[in-house]
Structure 1
Amino acid sequence: TGRLDSRAMRRIGFPWSPALVTRTCAAVGGTILAARLALSHGVACSTAGGTHHAHRDWGSGYCIFNDLAVAARWVQREGLARRVLILDLDVHQGDGTATIFAGDPTVFTFSMHCAKNFPFRKPPSDLDAPLPVAADDDAYLAALAQHLPRALDAFEPELVLYDAGVDPHREDRLGKLALTDAGLYRRDVTVLEMCRARGVPVATVVGGGYDEDLEKLGRRHTTVHRAAVAVFSDAASA
């Protein structure tokens, strides 16, 4: 309706417009669709989503509705999956997701992020893996290899919702980490291979990314889609 007060809009970070409403609802719907398709086909990749700073009753940090939370609840309500793991590899901690599912044994929240970055107050996820500023490909992938198998094997999810934010990239203006293009690709392949090896469907969203060169940024956001083709191409042709 455009009736949010100026304080609420400042917290979100976007000016209100009808186009913003359309975009926001479409992104949430896209994540729900990706979750449904992943449960049918093993993997599905949205071209939007990852609004992990949105809380239950307020938006923040360019996030209005938490599409990951909505999709998790949707698949549970529809009886399609009971146990959902939300894997958040955006460079910023998923504070909204963490607070929404705090104390909920049916949703496991795992955030690996830059320790010294937004949000400055980080409510605990079920598993947080904070990384130091300037962590490079090797450090990042080692941390992922340490934590993700444990989370998957201990929680045994029926669906993974994967926020494949590209803001850990070394050229990202808000990231503070130092991953290369190759490092992001290896990250996404690693996640998808681990899920596939365990027979866990995975739905991906693009998450954050901040670069004035939109062509570079757009290419960077396709990383998870290219990784999905590489990991699941034989399944599609079977």
Structure 2
Amino acid sequence: MLIAYDPIFAHPLPAGHRFPMAKYELIPAQLLREGVVTADVFHKPQPVSEETILLTHTAGYWDKLKNQQLSEKEVRRIGLPQSPGLVMRERVICQGTIDCALHALEHGIGLNVAGGTHHAFADRGEGFCLMNDFAVAANYLLHHQLAGYVMIIDLDVHQGNGTAAIFEGHKQVFTFSMHGEHNYPFHKERSMWDIGLPDGTTDEEYLSKLADSLALLMQRERPDFVFYLSGVDILSTDRYGRMKITENGCRCRDELVLNTVKQYNIPCAVAMGGGYSPQLRHIVNAHCNTFKTAAAIF
């Protein structure tokens, strides 16, 4: 198993900013402390190349990012301060997801400690996302003919609106998003298949819907590569999620997805996505369960 991680993920934002960056340092530390993995599985990605970025993002948007020329409105939409360090972090995240995908092609699975930046569009960022790592990695695989038909399984509580828009009408990428119907973003884009869940959805309801959906997707679509966004903002403890999913329910969700791709022998790259529980341990434990599940299955 390969885990993409770099200390740049843990760099703090200005004091008082609500985005929980500390989890990116705590997840690897907890996995090592519990003996789930050894230090040799961690991989430090390099920044993704401009050539690869431009397979997904427009030249105009990339120029704004690298030259620090986003407008105040664009910065507000993203919700993160404009800085060269943040752009570099996003480049490392994107390459980390590519590296996980390349590892998965040979070994079945690769996991990024960060990633899941699914609110970034081709020409703009929003919702804490500057560049869309799953879209960048999917286009990399397709461009280099390393995959022919890619599926993105997005189980963050928020719809992957940027991902949906980037791949709208695409013949080689299938986008599936199961999310809170009444949650952000309030204007939803159109994925190939969207399932909007009501506030207060429980473990039983969630897992039943997911199991049925995965069975149908695998039988009908037969992808040869899967990207899985395992956001833990579905937890009942999440300040924004509005769901009633327990930590065990979240773990069972991961088991469902990863057992399914293993059963169909489909390589899979995983990114962590969102998580905003007031107590950081709830976020870290749930994310660590994703890695534990992957280690057990693969």
1:236 alignment counterpart? none
1:12 matches 2:72: no
Unaligned ranges ≥5, structure 2:
1-66
2:248 alignment counterpart? 182
- Root mean square deviation of aligned Cα: 0.9
1:28 matches 2:64: no
2:155 alignment counterpart? 89
Q: Do the aligned residues in 1 keep the contact of 2:103 with 2:110 (CA within 8 Å)? A: yes
**C-alpha displacement of 1:212:** 3.0
- Alpha-carbon distance between aligned partners in 2 of 1:30 and 1:219, rounded to the nearest angstrom: 22
State the TM-score, normalized to the length of structure 1: 0.95
**C-alpha displacement of 1:221:** 1.6
2:19 alignment counterpart? none
Amino acid at match of 1:59: G
Percent sequence identity over aligned pairs? 43
**C-alpha displacement of 1:213:** 2.2
- Alpha-carbon distance between aligned partners in 1 of 2:289 and 2:181, rounded to the nearest angstrom: 24
Amino acid at match of 2:82: W
2:193 alignment counterpart? 127
**C-alpha displacement of 1:55:** 0.5
Amino acid at match of 1:104: H
1:98 alignment counterpart? 164
1:201 matches 2:267: yes
1:61 alignment counterpart? 127
- Alpha-carbon distance between aligned partners in 1 of 2:264 and 2:160, rounded to the nearest angstrom: 25
1:141 matches 2:194: no
- Alpha-carbon distance between aligned partners in 2 of 1:15 and 1:46, rounded to the nearest angstrom: 23
1:153 alignment counterpart? 219
2:115 alignment counterpart? 49
The 3-state SS of whatever aligns with 2:237 is coil
**C-alpha displacement of 1:11:** 0.5
Instruction: Spell out, residue by residue over 1:161-194, the C-alpha distance to the aligned partner (whole angstroms, 9 max, x if none).
Output: 0000000000011111111110011000110001
Amino acid at match of 1:226: K
Structure 2 counterpart of 1:213, from 252, 268, 279 = 279
- Alpha-carbon distance between aligned partners in 1 of 2:248 and 2:275, rounded to the nearest angstrom: 16
**C-alpha displacement of 1:26:** 1.0
Q: What aligned pairs does 1:165-176 form with structure 2 within 5 A after superposition?
A: 165-176=231-242
The 3-state SS of whatever aligns with 2:176 is strand
Instruction: Spell out, residue by residue over 1:72-113, the C-alpha distance to the aligned partner (whole angstroms, 9 max, x if none).
Output: 000111111010000000000111111111111110000000
- Alpha-carbon distance between aligned partners in 2 of 1:83 and 1:75, rounded to the nearest angstrom: 10
2:297 alignment counterpart? 231
1:37 alignment counterpart? 103
- Alpha-carbon distance between aligned partners in 2 of 1:194 and 1:155, rounded to the nearest angstrom: 13
**C-alpha displacement of 1:49:** 0.4
- Alpha-carbon distance between aligned partners in 2 of 1:28 and 1:222, rounded to the nearest angstrom: 21
- Alpha-carbon distance between aligned partners in 2 of 1:113 and 1:70, rounded to the nearest angstrom: 22
- Alpha-carbon distance between aligned partners in 1 of 2:72 and 2:218, rounded to the nearest angstrom: 41
Q: Runs ≥4 in structure 1, deviation > 2 angstroms?
A: 211-216
- Alpha-carbon distance between aligned partners in 1 of 2:288 and 2:199, rounded to the nearest angstrom: 25
- Alpha-carbon distance between aligned partners in 2 of 1:223 and 1:172, rounded to the nearest angstrom: 16
